[in-house]
Amino acid sequence: MDTSTARFGAQTLGGTASAALLEQLSQSIDEHAAAATFAVGGAIPILDSADRNGPKIPIQQQQQQQNPADQVAPASATEQSKPNTHTSSPVILRWDSSNDSNLTSKLVFPLEPNTSGNLEQLVKDCQPATFGYKGKDIYDETYRKASKLDASAFSSTLNPYELGIIDAIAQVLLPSVKDASNMRGVRAELYKLNIYSGPSGKFQAHVDTPRSDSQFGSLVVCLPCDHEGGELIVRHKSQNLNFDWSTSASEQSEVPSIKWAAFYSDCEHEVLEVHSGHRITLTYNLYVSRGSGNLAGHCPWMDPKQLPLYDTIKSMLQVPSFMMKGGLLGIWCSHAYAHSHSSSIHNLPGSLKGVDMAMYEIFRALGLQVTIRPILDGCTEDYSGDSDYSDDSEDDRMPEAIIGEGLHELEIADTLIEDTDLNGICRELGGYYHGNVVWLSEMRHRELAIAYIAYGNDASMGTVYSGAALIIEIPPFLDRNI
């Protein structure tokens, strides 16, 4: 018995052939996660605005149509009136035209009656499409026969974000992108409009050249226009995917749809020959981005000076008596962050939110050094009497805190430590220091930071928790330049 049969059981699966297929699938999932998700695609029906809500069926009629065993509670009137968010309005395309009567021409997809003249005008206004080879743009119809408009020459009402296309790409393709573990979003940049016309439009097998280090793939959106042929073939590690958007590939009764496909930049792909009609596509370059929820410290399009607390904090720092000699200012995080888990540490400080992000951005905008640090719980008191970690304080009234030099995973001490001897814990593990901190808030959230074997009357498991806080280094008043 071969390994696939032994693993899955030939009798249960209906033979060794089925077992072999499952073994192949299992290996793809276990060993080649990226290969298993190298491309994704779909279709979005286009409906007029009047039809996007769908037909209204009375609740009683819906219940009569249902199998009694499958009946569920009827939807509310509000839910029934919601538009179908998985449909698109007709797509309007406008472009710079050479037509003497109009500076701009227009097409609506699906094509409206009597628009063949505008379609031919679009084809006429396009330029021959080149392809990149060894850093040069090459025009060779034996390799690629197509026409194009650059993004600066046209506009369209199609928005891949509103249609959910970018969300799908982010959830399917982004997790397997190398070196993108701290990225949560996808940015799509419109690149070109391409037309492959029958009877010989094509693009032979090729691999795209990324435009930057952050580009990871391409998105191709096909607008509804009658054509035959022109299948998009995407290949990766001996696997092929065929995206056939031709008229004959769609059912005659199918509602006109936007068809799309996205794939990694290292995938070989080609456009097979178009036999008739015009295959019209919009191409987008896909880039990894920090996305929603991971923007703190990486959001130059937001002006911290417009945040409500900016003027208050700036005025505070301009008062000579406020921390005249400088020191550490502390703000406990208002929201809970998994700051001692390896899977989440790399997201901080990027994932700060709400007032935490506002404070982080404001102090940075004022030119001050801001870090997020773990502070051992219960350690904001004077331990300096016998501590090896003590710093001479310029203000004995400021409480002392045991501060982590950086975020870290849960640490486990492998030697016995006297119970409640926090200095011993820090001495054993390292990575902590004592600092006098002026706190502007109180701890709200904490999580397990250290575990150790404690000895006292009996050995027991000791634990220390930490809270995440923003630590701001305030320079002496004369050095602030604010």
Helix axis angle for 310-317 and 354-365, nearest 10°, is 50
pLDDT reading at 448 higher than 50: yes
- Longest Cα pair distance anywhere in the chain, in angstroms? 97
pLDDT reading at 110 higher than 80: yes
Q: What is the pTM of this model?
A: 0.66
Q: What is the pLDDT of residue 9?
A: 47
Helix, strand, coil tally for the chain in percent (to 5) = 25, 35, 45
- The pLDDT of 425-445, averaged and rounded, is 81
List residues bridging with 288 in a β-sheet: 186
Q: What is the pLDDT of residue 419?
A: 56
Q: How far is CA 202 from the centre of its chain?
A: 33
d(CA 85, CA 75): 17
Q: What is the pLDDT of residue 378?
A: 61
- The pLDDT of 336-341, averaged and rounded, is 83
Q: Percent of the chain scored above 70 by pLDDT? A: 71
For the chain, give every domain's residue range.
1-31, 37-66+80-289, 304-479
Q: What is the pLDDT of residue 243?
A: 93
pLDDT reading at 384 higher than 60: no
pLDDT reading at 292 higher than 70: no
Q: What is the pLDDT of residue 75?
A: 39
Q: Mean pLDDT across the chain, nearest whole number?
A: 78
| Listed range (49-53, 280-284, 406-410) with the worst mean pLDDT | 49-53
Measured from the Cβ of residue 118, the count of other Cβ atoms closer than 10 Å reads 20
Q: What is the pLDDT of residue 195?
A: 97
pLDDT reading at 184 higher than 80: no
d(CA 210, CA 472): 40
Q: What is the pLDDT of residue 49?
A: 58
| Listed range (172-176, 213-217, 283-287) with the worst mean pLDDT | 172-176
d(CA 201, CA 229): 9
Q: What is the pLDDT of residue 150?
A: 95
Structure confidence by residue, pLDDT tens digits, 1-22: 444 444 444 444 445 665 666 6
Name the pLDDT band for 80 (thresholds 50, 70, 90): very low
Residue bearing the bigger pLDDT, 449 or 163:
163
Q: What is the pLDDT of residue 382?
A: 37
Q: What is the pLDDT of residue 61?
A: 41
pLDDT reading at 386 higher than 80: no
The label of the residue with tokens 């089925």 reads 18
Residue bearing the bigger pLDDT, 341 or 445:
445
Name the pLDDT band for 299 (thresholds 50, 70, 90): confident
Q: What is the pLDDT of residue 111?
A: 92
Residue 132: exposed, middle, or buried by beta-carbon count in 10 A (0-12, 13-18, 19+)?
A: exposed
Of 92, 67, 63, the residue nearest 80 (C-alpha)? 63
Name the pLDDT band for 456 (thresholds 50, 70, 90): low
CA torsion 64-66-69-74 (nearest 10°) is -80
List residues bridging with 215 in a β-sheet: 287
The pair of three-digit structure tokens given for residue 281, joined into one six-digit string: 């596509």
d(CA 216, CA 319): 49
